[in-house]
Amino acid sequence: MKELIVKNVIISKQGKYSANYEDFQKIVKEKKINVIIVGVTNGSLQKLQIEKNIYFDILWPNNEELISENILNNNSIMCKLNYRGFSMLFTGDIEEIAEKIILREYKNNLTIFKSTILKVAHHGSKSSSTQDFLQAVHPQIALIGVGKDNKFGHPNNEVISRLQCIRNKSL
């Protein structure tokens, strides 16, 4: 944000103090950047309209009940980009605990997760992408953002196996 022209920033409710967030607040104030805080409130999804046929459904976090365990990861923004018949689910860094709560909260509407493309949670770490969650999303394509030979060993081989299992079920 220091180097680019930014009009709007979309963030979730912050559940923990951090020096990074303090720096962020200073920059948005200095540069007069509009900050949009998103999340689910009273069980209602938030919809962000981008253009006529393009919008995001904000599916997580639940602003009323933030997860205290690994608070920054598990309260990451999870949103679904919708464009006509195409969709992409962005999962942030949510972990298994968040996936289970999310599936429970949406148990009557699991089809909302079905997406053409899934951005796999937390760089494909072993703490995310449970079988139940992947079955709900049932993507045609899964993308994992990860650096080559990273120190964490991402993506995890078990996650890759679960993704392959989902893929094979759709063939």
Q: What is the pLDDT of residues 32-71, one digit of tens each?
A: 999 999 999 888 889 999 999 999 999 999 988 899 998 8
Q: What is the pLDDT of residues 121-131, one digit of tens each?
A: 977 778 888 89
Q: At 107, is the pLDDT very low, low, confident or very high (cuts 50, 70, 90)?
A: very high
Average the pLDDT over 111-140 and give the result: 90
Higher pLDDT, 132 or 162: 132
Phi then psi dihedrals of residue 10, to 5 deg: -110, 125
- Cβ atoms of 6 and 30 within 8 Å: the answer is no
CA distance 18 to 15: 10
Q: Tell me what pLDDT residue 170 has.
A: 59
**Would you identify the CATH topology of the domain 40-170?**
Metallo-beta-lactamase; Chain A (3.60.15)
Q: Could you tell me the residue ranges of all domains in the chain?
A: 1-38, 40-170
Tell me which residue of 103, 107, 121, 109 sits closest to 162, measured CA to CA: 121
Taking 70 as the threshold, does the pLDDT of residue 153 lie above it?
no
